[in-house]
Amino acid sequence: MKILIIGGGGREHTLAWTLAQDPIKPVLFCAPGNGGTATLGTNLTIEAEDLDAITAWATANRPDLTIIGPEAPLCGGLTDRLQAVGLRVFGPSGAAAQLEGSKIFAKDVMRTAGVPTAEANVFDDPQAALADIRRRGAPIVVKAEGLAAGKGVFVCTTIAEAEQAIHETMIARAFGEAGQRVVIEEFLDGEEASILALVDGEHVVMLASAQDHKRAFNNDAGPNTGGMGTYSPAPCVTDALWPVIRTEVFERTLAELRRRGITYRGVLYAGLMLTARGPKVLEFNCRFGDPETQVVLPRLRTPLLAALEACVDGRLTEQHVDWSPAPCVCVVMASGGYPGSYKKGIPITGIAAAERVPNVTVFHAGTRVAGDRLVTSGGRVLGVTALGSSLPEALDRVYRGTACIQFEGAHFRTDIAARALVRTATPTATK
Ligand code: AMP
Ligand code: GLY
């Protein structure tokens, strides 16, 4: 079986690593992949955003399944294009991917469907946006409407900060087209959790919970990033919350999409704030989370490939997923300067030593092979990941792993999962 994976980050290496263990032994191709996927299959020199080149390759080489990792090709309609040439694709259509691609579309779906989320207003005029901010006061959240590589969200504690955010997005256009319109949103307080679900158009199978750490530095200081580390399970997602999230978030959203004539097939990722008044949706993503995937998939005891295929074919059941109770932690090692500008091409050493620590796997994110060396090629470089029989054991292993790895300028957070450690000395959540 031939599988094409689109993307080249930690999520895609984790998908490839999980699929490589499948008894079917699929032959893997990644476009473009990274230094990690190069050891599991063939990297193609095709960028994930180059939809023409991907479509041409897939048309000629006929993969049995294509799995699309990142949001840009999904929102650009790659699924539709590949399906149009008769290929099987895991990932939502361009119309369904608007749940991530357009915050205004997502808000509209949620509002109509009665999905709990922050109160929001939409503006295309900066003066009207500024007036709304001054009327509502701080704290307040400003979001660029379109895709902004995870950087178009400003959580503002003062009116001055919110004014600055409007200036950057709508006037200086720091995010280009994405800042043409903004969503100004009520600030929600609580603990965050990521819940991903496989959706086959009709059935919803929720995956294990995870918590991401979006700020660059310890104690949630510094700028937002794509994600500096994760752990699964997230004990804040208590047993009582699962049915609420299923009904109020996933089922209501999918029913409203169906009403609009849109079938959602693929992963639907709900970024939730667990507020005192129940879970509320911060955002939807139309794909696996990165680095959530790095901690969710190692806990999956049933074959991933069978679940993805069932999803594509519209025959997904709860039997397709079963979870190990072992907690998993991922610590992202980033380039010096990330999420600002950073150097590339810096040699990386120590990965083999890190993987000698029991149950440690190092997922590559921004790496590439240059001659006989592995070098950095992105902001998030590696996701050092460990399973343990307890969260303290997983943490001990993961940080023994990071201690083995060197590249100039490397930085990482040393407080991943600290909240879960405090919450439960003996975590009870298993999913
Ligand atoms: P998003 O990309 O929409 O998930 O936003 C990035 C981060 O900003 C989230 O993970 C939250 O930490 C924060 N955030 C987004 N929206 C809100 C909100 N309405 N209230 C508080 N924090 C938020
Ligand atoms: N980890 C956040 C995301 O994948 O968007």
Counting ligand 2 atoms within 8 A of each CB, the residue from 214, 292, 293, 294 with the most, and so the one to mutate, is 292
Q: Which atom of ligand 2 is nearest to the CA of 150?
A: 5
Answer yes or no: is the C-beta of 100 below 6 A from any ligand 1 atom: no
- Kindly state the tokens that stand for 89: 């694709």
SS3 136: helix
Q: For 191-421, give the CATH class.
A: alpha beta
Question: What's the one-letter identity of residue 271?
Answer: G
| Residue 8 backbone zone (phi > 0: left; psi -120 to 50: alpha; other: beta) | alpha
Stretch 103-122: mean pLDDT: 95
Q: What is the CATH number of domain 2-93?
A: 3.40.50.20
Distance CA 141, CA 188 (A): 9
Q: For 125-180, give the CATH class.
A: alpha beta
Q: Percent of the chain beyond pLDDT 90?
A: 88
Counting ligand 1 atoms within 8 A of each CB, the residue from 115, 155, 272 with the most, and so the one to mutate, is 155
Does the pLDDT of residue 430 top 70, yes or no?
Answer: no
Distance CA 235, CA 13 (A): 26
| Residue 13 backbone zone (phi > 0: left; psi -120 to 50: alpha; other: beta) | alpha
Q: Which residues, judged by CB distance below 6 Å to any ligand atom, belong to the binding site of ligand 2?
A: 150, 212, 227, 285, 289-290, 292
Q: Which atom of ligand 1 is nearest to the CA of 185?
A: 19
pLDDT at 170: 86
Ligand nearest to the Cα of 227, by number: 2
Stretch 59-81: mean pLDDT: 98
Q: Whose CA is nearest to atom 7 of ligand 1?
A: 153
| Residue 190 backbone zone (phi > 0: left; psi -120 to 50: alpha; other: beta) | left
Does the pLDDT of residue 152 top 90, yes or no?
Answer: no
Q: Is the dihedral of CA 411, 365, 326, 389 positive or negative?
A: negative
pLDDT at 175: 76
Distance CA 30, CA 262 (A): 28
**pLDDT tens per residue, range 380-397:** 999 999 999 999 999 999
- Kindly state the tokens that stand for 356: 């000698």
Does the pLDDT of residue 424 top 90, yes or no?
Answer: no
Q: Which atom of ligand 2 is nearest to the CA of 290?
A: 4
Stretch 296-320: mean pLDDT: 96
Average pLDDT of every residue of the chain: 95
pLDDT at 150: 64
Q: How confident is the model at residue 425 (pLDDT cuts 50, 70, 90)?
A: low
DSSP string, 215-283: EEEGGGEEEE-S-SEEEES-TTS-TTHHHHIIIIIIIHHHHHHHHTT---EEEEEEEEEEETTEEEEEE
pLDDT at 223: 87
**pLDDT tens per residue, range 13-61:** 999 999 999 999 999 999 999 999 999 999 999 999 999 999 999 999 9
The DSSP H or E segment spanning 6 is strand 2-7
- Kindly state the tokens that stand for 390: 């307890």
Which positions ≥6 away from 267 have C-beta within 8 Å? 91, 196, 197, 198, 199, 207, 286, 287, 288
Does the pLDDT of residue 89 top 70, yes or no?
Answer: yes
Domain with CATH 3.40.50.20 in the chain: 2-93
Answer yes or no: is the C-beta of 156 below 6 A from any ligand 1 atom: no
Domain with CATH 3.30.470.20 in the chain: 191-421
Domain with CATH 3.30.1490.20 in the chain: 125-180
